[in-house]
Amino acid sequence: MVTADAQVSEFFRQYCHDCHAGGADEGGLELSQLGTDLDDEATRARWVRIYDRVANREMPPVDAAKPSAREREAFTQKLGTLLVAAHAKTKGTVLRRLNRREYENTLNDLFGTNLDLGQMLPEDSRAHEFDNVGHALGLSMVHLQRYMDAADRVLDTAIAGRTEAPQPDTITASYLDSGDADKFVGKVWKKLEDGAVVQFSQRAYPSGMMRATRIRQPGRYRITVNGYAYQSGGPVTFSVGGTSFARGSEKPTYGFWSFPPGRPGDAFSIEFEAWIEQNYMLSVDPYGINDPEKYQRKSVEDYGGPGLAVLNVQIEGPLLDAWPLPGHRLLFEGIDRREIEPRNPADKKKSWYKAKFEVVSDDEEADAARALKRVAAAAFRRPVTDQDVARFVALFGSARTEGNSFEQALRMAVTAIFCSPKFLYLQEPPGKLDSYAMASRVAYFLTRTAPDRELLRAAKEDQLTTDAGLREQTERLLRSPHFERFLVDFTDSWLDLRDMDFTVPDRQLFPEFDAYLQYSMPLETRRFLRELVESDLPVTNIVMSDFAMLNSRLAAHYDLPPVAGAELRKVRLPAGSIRGGLLSQASILKVTANGTNTSPVTRGAWVMERILGTPPPPPPPGVPGVEPDIRGAATLRELLDKHRNLPACNACHRQIDPPGFALESFNPIGGFRDRYRSIGAGEKVQLQVNGRNVGYRLGPEVDSSGMLPGNRPFADFREFREYLAADPRRLAQTLASKLLTFATGRELGFSDRAEVARIVTLSEAHGFGVRDLIHLVVQSEVFRHK
C-alpha cells in the first residue's frame, strides 16, 4: 500500500495546519480527515489536488507563511513520487466495450448497411465528458437483448432477397404535381411561364413539402433541385430536408444551398446525396426572405418581392456501391444459395412476389465453419483459429438439429458472434499492445470503426509496432472520409456539441435564432477543427485565430462582412475582430448557456476543464450556491463577488469566475453583446427581425473584465484570450490529454503526466501543430500500452 509519509506531514504541520487542521477546514479541506492510503482513488484525487495547489504556488495563500523554493520542491518531489507509484499500480484501460456509435459504425461498415442501430441500444454512461471510457461502460441483459435485435436487423437488411441487383428509379416532381396545387397557386405560390413555382416566404402551411417525392424504399439517393432566385438582386438561400406524415417522426435537414438570381427560362441546379427513409418526402423551404403582408394578401401575382423559384426535383436511387451487399458476401461466399422456384413461374413478375432461398451443400458443417471463421475474423478484428469458432459451429449444428434451415442456423451463429465478448470488447492484453490491438486502437480513435483491410494487412506484417509504419497508417486515416466521424464524436464529447439541441433559446429574447443558424453552428466548429488538423495549425488557434469557418448565416450573426452562400469556407477575419478560436463560436456559447441567460460559473468551469485541463472540484459539502448573508447584490457579478467572500468558496471561484466573466461578452446564442437583454424592465429596442418588432429590452451593461491568477487584470474578452494564447504549452497539454483519453478509453492519471509533458515538448519543436500533436499522441507510450 502506498501512503503519505512523515516528510509530507511535516510540510503540512509547518504551512497548512492554521487553515486546515484542528477544526479549521477552509475550502472544505481538513487534513485529519484527508486519509493517507493513496491506493484509494478518492483519497489519491484529493492528494493530487493538494500537489497541484502547492506546485502552482496557489497554496499556502499570499497572507500566510511561505515555504522556501527548496522546501516546496522537496515536498512536490516526494509527494509526486508517491502519487506516480500509486497511480501506476491501477492504471490501464479496463476491458473496454464498444459504445453505441462504435457498435453502429462497425456493423454498418462490415455489412454495407446504413442503419440507426445506436438508437436501439441503451445510452452509454460518461466519465467526465467522454462516453467511450472503459470503466463507465457496463453490460446488462438489456444490452445483450438489444444486440441480438440489432444483429437481426442488420442481417435482414444485408442478406439479398432477390437474385438480380435492384435498379435505381428516378422521380421527377414539382409543386404542380401536388394535389394542393390548385389551392395554393395564385394565392401563396406563384406559377411562372416556365413551370416554376415561387415561394415568397417560409410557411408552416403550406410548407415546402413536395408530395410527389415520396420514397418507397429506404436507401441512399441522389437529389437534384432545379430553380433560381426570382425577383431578387442577390442569391436566395433554401433548405432541403425530409418530412413524413408519421407521428413523432424526425425531420432531418440535408443541407442549405443558394440559387443565384434568374428569370423564367433560366435554370440552376444543386445536387447532393442523402440517406432517405421509407415514406419520407422532400421539403424545399426558402430562408431569409419574408413577405410581411403574406397573411393579408389574397394574391401573390402582383407581389414584387424576392422569391425562390423551384422548377422541379429529381431523385435517383436507391444507389448501391455493390450488390449483393458486403454482409451478404461475408456470409455466403463459396456457398450455393439458390432461389426456390415458385410453382407458377409467372408469379415472379407479380409485385407481391417475395423470393425464397435454400442452401445446397454436400458438407453443411464444413461450409458453415468456413463462413463462421470468415465472419469471426472480421468481427474479432484479428485472425481466428478453428478452436475460436468451434462453439459457434456447434451452435449452428444444434440449430439444424432443431429443424432450422441452413440459413436460419447460420444467422443464429452469426448473431452469437456479434454478441460475443471478443466482438463487443476491444481485445487489449496488459502491457504493450500487439499489432492487431494497435490496429483496433488507431482505427477506433481516428475513424470510429473496425480496422480496414489495409490496417489489418499492416498488422499482419507487424508494421504497427514501428514508428514509421504507425505514422504512415495514422496519416492515411487522417485523410480517410471516415475521419469526419472523429470530428463529430470528439467534438460531441470534448466540446459538448452533443448538447446542441438540448436547449431551445427563448424566442422573445433571441428572435434571430433560426434553423439555418442552428444547422450552421456545429458545422463551424467541426470544420474549424478539421482546418487545424489538415493545415497543422498551432494549438493557440483554439483560443485565438485570425480566421473563421463561415457561411452567409454565420457571417451575419457575427456582424462580419457578408459571405455569399451556405457553404462553409475559411474566411480571414478583420483586424481586431472579437471572433476567432473556439471560445467565440456560437456552438460553444450555446451549449454553455441555458437558452435564456448565461452563468459565469458554468462557462468558467467549462473553460477550466475543456480548454485549460484543470477541472474545478465540486463545492464543499453543505455549502449552497448562495448564502443568505449576500442578499442585496444588484447584478450577477455582485452576487458572485459576495459569494467569493465566503472562505469555503473563495479559492475555487477565484479561478472559475474570471473565464466566465470574459465570456459574458456573448449571449446564449453566441451573439456579441455589451448590454444584457431582458423582458420587462429596460430600454426599448427599435428593431425588426423577420418583419416583426422585437419584444426584448436592453438591460444592464456587460462587464467582461476580471482578475487572472497572479493578480493580473484583464479588461475584456480580447485580453483574456490573449492571456490564454500566450501559454501554448498548457493548451497543447490539455488537447493531448483529451486526445489520449478519447483514444485509449481511459482517464489519464498522475503517472501519465510525464509522458504528456514529453509529448508537449516534442510538439513545441514543431510549433505546436495540431496534426503533429495527433501523431505524437499515437506514437506515445500511453497510446501503445494498456
pLDDT greater than 80 at residue 15: no
C-alpha dihedral sign at 563, 569, 573, 574: negative
Is the distance from CB of 649 to CB of 677 less than 8 angstroms? Answer: no
664 class by beta-carbon count within 10 Å (0-12 exposed, 13-18 middle, 19+ buried): buried
User: What is residue 309's three-state secondary structure?
Assistant: strand
Nearest to 420 by CA among 743, 155, 97, 109: 97
Please say if the pLDDT value at position 385 is more than 90: yes
pLDDT tens digits along 752-770: 999 999 999 999 999 999 9
pLDDT for the residue numbered 82: 86
* Per-residue pLDDT tens over the stretch 485-532: 999 999 999 999 999 999 999 999 999 999 999 999 999 999 999 999
Give pLDDT, residue 633.
Answer: 43
Mean predicted lDDT score pLDDT of the chain? 90
Residue 605, Cβ neighbours under 10 Å: how many? 20
Residue 347 binned pLDDT confidence (cut-offs 50, 70, 90): confident
pLDDT at 62: 65
Contacts for 752 with CB less than 8 Å, ≥ 6 apart: 87, 91, 740, 782
pLDDT surpasses 70 at 14: no
Q: What's the pLDDT at 628? A: 33
Q: What average pLDDT score do residues 388-405 get?
A: 97
What distance in Å separates the CA atoms of residue 754 and residue 570, rounded to the nearest whole number? 36
- Prior bond of 318 cis (ω within 30°): yes
> pLDDT per residue over 475-488, tens digit each?
999 999 999 999 99
90 pLDDT band, cuts 50/70/90, is confident
Q: Of 189-193, 341-345, 632-636, which one has max mean pLDDT? A: 189-193
Give me the mean pLDDT over the 220-234 stretch: 96
Cα–Cα distance for residue pair 294/569, rounded to 1 Å: 34
* The predicted structure's pLDDT at residue 454: 97
Q: Which range among 16-30, 170-184, 291-305, 549-563 shows the weakest confidence by mean pLDDT?
A: 16-30
| Dihedral angle, C-alpha 241, 512, 579, 739, nearest 10 ° | -50
Mean pLDDT, to the nearest integer, of 423-441? 94
Q: Which residue has the higher pLDDT, 107 or 640?
A: 107
CA–CA gap between residue 239 and residue 551 (Å, rounded): 14
**With 70 as the cut, is the pLDDT of residue 167 above it?**
yes
What pLDDT is recorded for position 71? Answer: 76
Q: Shortest CA distance to 470 belongs to which of 459, 484, 485?
A: 459
**For 35-44, 205-214, 323-332, 729-738, which range has the lowest pLDDT when averaged over its residues?**
35-44
Q: Which letter, b or e, does each residue of 712-730 get, where b requires 16 or more Cβ atoms within 10 Å of its Cβ?
A: eebebbbbbbebbbeebeb
pLDDT tens across 615-626, in order? 887 766 665 554
Q: Residue 111 pLDDT more than 60? A: yes
What pLDDT, in 10s, does the model give residues 280-294?
999 999 999 988 777
**Residue pLDDT, tens place only, 141-165:** 999 999 999 999 999 999 999 888 8
652: its cell numbers: 475555487
Q: With CA atoms as reference, report the closest residue to 116 among 149, 82, 71.
A: 149
CA neighbours closer than 13 Å in the CB half-sphere of residue 142: 6
The pLDDT-based confidence of 449 (bands split at 50, 70, 90) is very high
Backbone angles phi, psi at 415, to 5 degrees: -60, -40
Whether the pLDDT of residue 70 is over 80: the answer is yes
> What is the pLDDT, as a whole number, of residue 180?
78
pLDDT of residue 128: 78
Among 147-151, 401-405, 562-566, 648-652, the minimum mean pLDDT is found in 648-652
Q: How would residue 30 be classed by pLDDT, with cut points 50, 70 and 90?
A: low
> Average of pLDDT values for 710-737?
95
